[in-house]
Amino acid sequence: MCGITATFSYHPDAPPVDQGELTRVRDAMERRGPDDAGLWIPEHKRVGLAHRRLAIIDLSEQGAQPMATPNGRLRTVFNGKLYNYRELRARLQAQGHAFCSESDTEVLLHAYREYG
């Protein structure tokens, strides 16, 4: 089972996301995801996403997280499984969505773009 963590500096006076702290929290979950580790903090440093990966569905680098839509507008870290992701993927492809991976996480991102 993967491990996910996030931090959000909500208040305008809150300090920016601390990359070192986020990395330490992520790495404390190494047993949950020994296959890879990912981290994303945007330039404004108001939010940070981190992920420990247990690669099961898509073992390639394209399945790594945090994952973003092609335009970078949406990002996610996801711990779970979409059991019907193949059917959802086919439906989204028929609606014009192009995929870069075989990951159910990417299906989640495209479904959110399409359906909200």
Give residue-wise pLDDT tens across range 41-62: 999 999 999 999 988 888 889 9
Catalytic (active site) residue 100: no
Query: Quick one: pLDDT at residue 17?
Result: 97
Euclidean distance between the first and the last CA atom of the chain, given in angstroms as a whole number: 26
Domain boundary assignment for the chain? 3-115
Q: Which is the catalytic residue, given 1, 2, 32, 109?
A: 2
Average pLDDT value over all residues in the chain: 94
Q: What pTM, to 2 d.p., does this model score?
A: 0.89
As assigned by CATH, the class of the 3-115 domain is alpha beta
Query: Quick one: pLDDT at residue 107?
Result: 96
Q: Which pLDDT band holds residue 70 (cuts at 50, 70, 90)?
A: confident
Q: Please give the average per-residue pLDDT across 95-100, as a whole number.
A: 95
Angle at alpha carbon of residue 66, lines to 62 and 70, rounded to 5°: 60
